[in-house]
Every structure is written in structure tokens, then in C-alpha cells.
A and B are shown apart, each in its own frame.
Chain A
Amino acid sequence: MSQEKDLKDEQKRNFLKIMGVLIIGAGLAGTLRSVVQNILPESVQAESSFPTLLLSLPDGNPVHTADLIVNNPQIVLYYYPLTNTPNFLLRLGDASGKDVKIEGSVVKIPATGQTYKSPPGVGPYGSVVSSSAICQHLGCIPPEIRYHPPSSTSFPGKIHCDCHGSTYDPFNGFSVVTGPTTHPLPSVVLSYDPSKDTYSATLMVGPTIYGHSSDLSGGQAVSTSFTTITTIQG
């Protein structure tokens, strides 16, 4: 009889313990949820869609084909779509300095196996292309990552990053040549206005820009309708 009573008491006590764990667990779960959701910063979309920005020179005039040098040993950059995302502006040519027409090509992302179509070159010779200038490996920016013209001795005709040796091929949609990167450089889709001889950046294709959760978040939008090119020594 006494044993039976003990057993009953034991059961009651266990029930109480389960209830206690439930109640305090509910309190903890509620607290944790709010704390986690609170300290998680919301990602801010700087723009709702890709803007179309006219490429312009530092003096304010639009960039014309004559302003772009074939296989320029210097690095020509502009910011698109955000003020912290630099891009290369390249006019590609062969070793003798003649424009090379770039066709759109199917580019593979080695990390995922997915493919996408890179935009063809634009301009009167179809030789002007552009890509993100942030290395997809660990985010190095020019001058660490830069284009080596076909006439140079090291990495001819490739974009090479000095940080860890990632190499990309601008002639084939900025695809990966050698690692350690597992993603090609995202391409900027340029549009060329033959009547005015001007260039505009309209869209980005390929992987997301390095360090951003999406191409349009993690920075500030370019507030003007144009984006200015800057030239730095390679």
C-alpha cells in the first residue's frame, strides 16, 4: 500500500517536472526567438531592379569608343549597380592590338555545375565587355585582380588575381580558368547606342557579386543616371 502510494507520488512529481520543463522551455523558446530575430539585421535592398546607367568620363561627357584603348594596360573601372561594387571595362584585342569580336558563350559555375549565357561584346567591333572587379574567391579588388593583355608574359589574355591565383577568361564570358575560385566573375550586360556612340550598363548576369546577399543589396545605389569611369595604374 505504502509502496503504491510512493509510486503514485513519484508519478505526480514526474508530471510536475514535465510541466515545469514545458513552461520554462516555452519561456526560453519565446525569448530566444525574439532575440535571434531581433539581432538578425534585415538585408536592405538598395534598388528594386537593375538601373540603366550611362558610362561617362570624369569630365562628365559620355564614354565613346575612342576613349577606350584596346588591351589597355591600365585598369578602367566603374561602379555598378551599387557604389561599392567596381567593374572592369575592357576593350579586348589580340596580341597585335586588333579588336576581337566576343560572342556570348555558355559559362559554367564549377561550384554548382549550373550554366548561364554570358552577354556578347558590344561596340562597333563587338569587343567591349565588362565584369565585376571583385574576385569571386575571397573578394580582392584591383589592382590585385587585373586584366593581363595578350602581349604580356604572365597570364596573357586572362584576368588574374594576385591574392590567391584565381584566373578568369574575359574572352569566354569571364569563366574560371584555374582555381581556387569556384565561381566565374559576374558579367555586366552593356548596351551600345550606335547613333550616339555611347555605352550603358543595364544588367548583371552570372553568380552574385562577392560579399553580397544579392546584387542589389549590401550597399548604396548609384544616385545619378550615369556612372563615372576611373582609371588606375595596373
Chain B
Amino acid sequence: MEDKGLLEKIMNEPQPLPRRVPDYMRGKGGIWYWTGAMVMIAFFYEVVTGLILFLYYEPSNAYASTEAILTIPYGSVILTTHLYGAYIMIALVYVHLLRNLFVGAYKKPREMQWISGIILLFLTVAVAYFGYSLSGDVLSSDAIDVARGIMDGFPVIGTYIARIVLGNGESVSLFTRYEGWHIILAGLILVLFAMHFFLAEYNTIMPDPKRNAYRVPLVDREEKNYKPWQPYNLYYMAQISFFTLALIFIIPSIVAIIPHVPALFSPFPQVSPTSPLAISVPPYPPWFLLFVYKELDFAISAVIGPFWASVLFIGLPLVYLLIIPYVEKTPTLKPTRRPIIVATGVIGVIYLIGLSTWGALYPGVPVSNVVALLFFVVPMAIVIPLVWYLANLIESGRVKSQNSWKIYVLMTLDGFLAVLSGYSILSALETHSLFSTISMIILLVLLAISSLVTYSLVYGVKISVPAKLSSRGYVVFSGIYGFLAIAIISIISVIPPTNTFNQSLYGIGMGLIFFIAGGFIMLYRSHVYNE
């Protein structure tokens, strides 16, 4: 058994599918078993809206045809939710990755799942980059220029790679290729996702590690009290699908209505690169690539060139993530016994968010090597000893924790907020603007709240769980939900989709209906299945 390869095991010892499922994956905290499912929902939403946009997008006329989509009935909803669906998908991919890093899901027997997941992360960001660049606006032309610079720097065959990806230099060729890559990579994601999902089913979900005394390999063995997949998991999945869809609809529709949204988060294309207004738009990349953007400002990047800088700052973390399952082979699953991995996860998040914020606030401002080095060393010097200390504290039993992962997640947030607050205090002192003062206050309040929650979790402060509804309560609430859904659908069905404002109202309405649908399924599960 030990020596068998993965393929041999899969082919020769097939597992029964579908299995019966445990209750805890739908209970409190069970949502962490579904982060991958949420990514999947977002991905399928992207495929559907992407295919609809495919009917309208013209590579020969990139900017004008993207702008024209906004005037087609519901085109604005589909374009903005396609963009924000991608944003949400990327965010969820990171959440999924961190969760699995912290719980040790990369360990035996899930190494291949982890590696395919890392490749999926890369593909997701790449497909999002190509999609983002399709609009043909000033930001997309900046993003394309950066990609050209990086690819040209590839030793020896750089110009060939740039031509393969970007075409022969004509605009039509460029956008035709970008549209092609966008779809090709999305197809690759689908194929790799199928494998990732199959492996997840084959290796089973990761049960509570306590069942196996935190030792690998941790697999889910069917127990007597397990329930059939349908309806228990089916309804749960429908519930989280509706909630995810609600987010995808509501967030961009609200952002679309708010005036003066910064270019970085605007759901609409910016001005055309040939417009005289283009000069006023800062040359931002999409937010999920802001960290690369800042790294290219470092003095060292100017010396080694954009290609090697990308290898250093994108390639190195990816390689680190890829080799984790083969380097960290300790048989324990306890996060407290793996402080280095946990600490690097936290540090990675701090780097990612810190660099992105830095890039957003100070776009294109060169950074000296000393400052850059400090940026990388300081969090490392703080987080590693801190995590080590906390891990020992929990390990020795002096601090009790039922949900140590929550603490790690919150600590990540704390660290990020602390870094951000530091910056905001600095900028408030320097600029004296109202905006920076307000943001400083908000950040400090957020930091205080999250530190308080972390503290209460570490020292085991209990928060009471709301009691179950009475049987009459279910009828009343379902009636209210049904009434609201019908009311919203009748309101939004009479709003003509003639301008983006009306369409955004429709988007918010649809998001609310999905939200209500998710809430209703929650209610139904609670009433009928006692969950």
C-alpha cells in the first residue's frame, strides 16, 4: 500500500462514489469544507457569462465593442458580474489555498490535489489577466505592455514567446489572441479542475484531525451516522451556491451605482488609450496583480529586468508552494506542530496584501533595495517568532483553543491590519488630508476589533448560539422570504434595462433574490432535517 503510485491506487482500488456524508461538514464551521465548491460555483458563473459576452465581443473592435455591451439589455449586469465574479473567484481561490495550507491538507495522501491546486491558482490568475486585458481600455493596454516587457525578457526565445502570446503586433491579432488565450486557459482550468475534484472525491474530505490523533494519512471512513449525499449535501450546496451567486450579483451592482469608484475597483472599462483623458488614469494593473506591479518598482528589479524580477517574485513563491508537500513530510497535522509552514502562510498573506496596498497607494514610485529588504524581513522577523511562541503556548496547554485555524486566519488579518494601520498613521502624519485621517481611524478600529476577537478566541470566550426557531416561526419566515422574492422580482421585472443604473438595480434585485433563496434553503434544512 505504501509503495503504490497514485494512479495504481486509483485504478486498482476504486472507491465507491458517491459516499455517505458526515454531519459536521454542514454544521458550525462546516463552511470550510466548501471553499472549493464556492470557487467552482464562481467558475461556472464565469463560464456562462463569458459565453454570453462571447456573442458580443469583437477583437477587431475591442474597446468600442466592450463599451457597446453596456448598452445591450442587461449587458452591463453581465459584464460587471463577469468581472467581479472573477475577482470573487480569485479571492476564494486564495481562501481555499490558505485553509488547506493551515489544516495541512497538502499532506499524504493529498499531494497531487495540492499541486493541481497550485497550478489552478496560476491558471486562474492568468485567465483573469487575459480577460481583464480584453476590454481594450487604457488599463488593459498598460497590462499588455507590462506582459510584453516581461515576456521579451525571457532569455533567448523571449521575442518568440511574446509573439505567440501577443500576436504579430497588430491590434486585431493581439485581441484575437488574448480572447483565444482567455478561453484556452479557461478550458485548461476546467480539465484540471475535473482532476482536482476527482482527487478530492477519491481521497475523501479531510475529517476532523482529532479522529486520527492529528496523524497522516487522514481519510474519511464512512460511519454509521453518516447521511446520504442527497438531500443533505445537495441542499447545503444549493444554499452556498445561492449565497455565492448573491455576492457575485450584489457587490458589482452596488459598486456600479456608487459614483467616483477608483479605477482599481471600477466595474466598468476605463477610457480608451487614445483618449486625452487617458493620462489621468494611473497605470494600474488589475488588483490581483498589484503585488507584481510594486515589485517591479524595486531597485533590484530595474537591474535584473522585469522577466527575472517576475521569476523571483512570482516564480519563487509558486515553487515554494509546489514543493511544500515534498519538503514538509512530518506525519503531524497539528498547525501548532508546523509553525514554520503556518508562519510562511501568514507572511505570504502579509506580503501579498502589503505589496498590493503599497502598489495601489504609491503606483510606480521607485523603492530602494534597503526599504524593499526591510519590507520582506520585518514581517518575517515578527511573525515567525510570534507564531512559534503562540504554537508553543497552545501546545503546552496553557492556552486552550478549539478552533486554532480561526486564530491563524484572524492573526493574518491582524498582521495585515497592523501593517496597514502603520502606513495610514504615516500617511496621515505626512499628508494631513481628511481622507487619510478617516482611513487611519477606520483601520485602527478594525485592528482593535480583530485583535479583540483573536484574544477572545485564544482565551476561549464563548459566544452563545441563537436558539432554534419555533415551528410557527418557520412558516412565518418562509412566508416573508417568499413574499420578498415575489415583490423583488415584480419590481425588477418592470425596470427597463435601458441604462446602467437601471441594470444595476436589476443586479442588486437578483442578488437579493439569490440571497433569499440561500436563506430559505437554510431555513428549510433547519426545519426538515434539523440542521
Contact = CB atoms under 8 A, between A and B. Distances in A.
A42 B72 contact: yes
B513 A20 contact: no
B517 interface: yes
A23 B471 contact: no
A204 B493 CA distance: 39
B510 A23 contact: no
A27 B485 contact: yes
Contacts of A15: 475, 478-479
B489 A38 contact: no
A98 interface: no
A22 interface: yes
Interface in B493-531: 493, 497, 506, 509-510, 513-514, 516-517, 520-521, 523-524, 527-528
B513 A27 contact: yes
A4 to B, nearest CB: 14
A27 B242 CA distance: 10
Interface string B460-495: 000000000001001100110110011011001100
Nearest to B69: A38
A26 interface: yes
B323 to A, nearest CB: 43
Contacts of A13: 527-528
Contacts of A22: 482, 485-486
A34 B475 contact: no
Interface stretch (B16-24, B74-82, B214-222, B375-383): B74-82
A19 B481 contact: yes
A3 interface: no
Contacts, number: 83
Contacts of B55: 39
B52 interface: yes
Chain B interface residue count: which class?
35 or more
Contact of B74 (A18, A24, A29, A37): A37
B317 interface: no
Interface-central residue, B489, B493, B520, by most chain A CB under 10 Å:
B489
Interface-central residue, A30, A34, A35, by most chain B CB under 10 Å:
A34
B315 interface: no
Given A9-B471, A19-B481, A23-B481, A35 B52 contact: yes
Contacts of A35: 52, 74
A33 B78 CA distance: 13
Contacts of B72: 38, 42
Interface-central residue, B55, B474, B481, B485, by most chain A CB under 10 Å:
B485
Contact of A19 (B77, B482, B492, B528): B482
Interface in B321-360: none
A12 interface: yes
B187 interface: no
B517 A38 contact: no
A197 B474 CA distance: 86
A7 to B, nearest CB: 13
Nearest to A16: B478
Contact of B520 (A9, A20, A30): A20
B42 to A, nearest CB: 16
A84 interface: no
B366 interface: no
Nearest to A9: B471
A31 interface: yes
A29 B514 CA distance: 12
Interface-central residue, A22, A27, A33, by most chain B CB under 10 Å:
A27
B231 interface: no
Nearest to A38: B74
Contacts of A27: 242, 485, 489, 510, 513-514, 517
Chain A interface residue count: which class?
20 to 34
Interface-central residue, B75, B478, B524, by most chain A CB under 10 Å:
B478
Contacts of B488: 26
A37 B73 contact: yes
A18 to B, nearest CB: 8
A12 B471 contact: yes
B78 A26 contact: no
Interface-central residue, B75, B488, B513, by most chain A CB under 10 Å:
B513
Given A12-B471, A16-B524, A34-B77, A23 B497 contact: no
Nearest to B73: A37
B509 A38 contact: no
Contacts of B486: 22, 26
A111 to B, nearest CB: 32
A39 B52 contact: yes
Contacts of A23: 481-482, 485, 513, 516-517, 520
A129 B242 CA distance: 64
A12 B472 CA distance: 8
Nearest to A40: B73
Nearest to A35: B52
A206 B497 CA distance: 35
Nearest to B75: A38
Contacts of B242: 27
Given A16-B475, A18-B482, 9 more contacts: A16-B524, A19-B520, A22-B482, A23-B520, A27-B513, A30-B493, A34-B73, A35-B74, A37-B497
**Which 9 pairs from chain A and chain B are nearest by CB?**
A19-B482, A34-B74, A26-B489, A23-B485, A19-B478, A38-B74, A26-B485, A37-B73, A27-B513
5 contacts: A20-B524, A26-B485, A30-B510, A34-B497, A40-B73
